[in-house]
Amino acid sequence: MPDGGYPVEWVGRQAVVRLPDNIDLFTVSALGEQLLALAGRGAAALIVDMTATASWDPAAAEALVRACRPAAASGTQLRLVAPAEVIRRVLRLNGLGRLVPVHPSREAALATGLTAGQAAAPAGPPQAGQDLLGGSSATSSRLA
């Protein structure tokens, strides 16, 4: 995670943001900003992939909640991928699971809610080989 950004993969107009195994107060600071920036780049859906996440600070849930309203206002769907029961339980307890759809896999999240045109339409992500700040990138984009 260079510069505090999370890895991003674009699938059509859907941005998949992969979170690390541990999310604490320090690593979560840029999450909400990154999600809002991706929505501003034309993402039809923001998929927060918590497949690798084993533990997380409550601040991560707050960052996601803060990103929900502006993302929805811009027409961007927010979805979570949380295959681990412990993470799904935390999402239920803090109420985030009622605000944002939670999916058991990345594939399920990608397949949900977009029409074929939305999923395949030209995306708002950077050109191939460019990250969101204009740097180069191999296969995924990162926001600093």
Tokens representing residue 11 in the block:
């699938």
Q: In the chain, what percentage of residues exceed pLDDT 90? A: 29
Give the pLDDT confidence score for residue 114 in this predicted structure: 60
Max CA-CA distance within the chain?
A: 40
pLDDT in tens, 19-78: 989 888 777 777 888 888 898 888 999 999 999 998 888 777 877 777 777 888 888 999
Cβ(49)–Cβ(19) below 8 Å: yes
Q: What pTM does this model have? A: 0.74
**Which of 112, 62, 50 minimizes the C-alpha distance to 86?**
50
Q: What domains lie within the chain, and their CATH numbers?
A: 2-112 (3.30.750.24)
Distance CA 53, CA 85 (A): 11
Give the pLDDT confidence score for residue 113 in this predicted structure: 67
Determine phi and psi for 96, rounding to 5 degrees.
Answer: -65, -35
Q: Quick check: helix, strand or coil at residue 55? A: strand
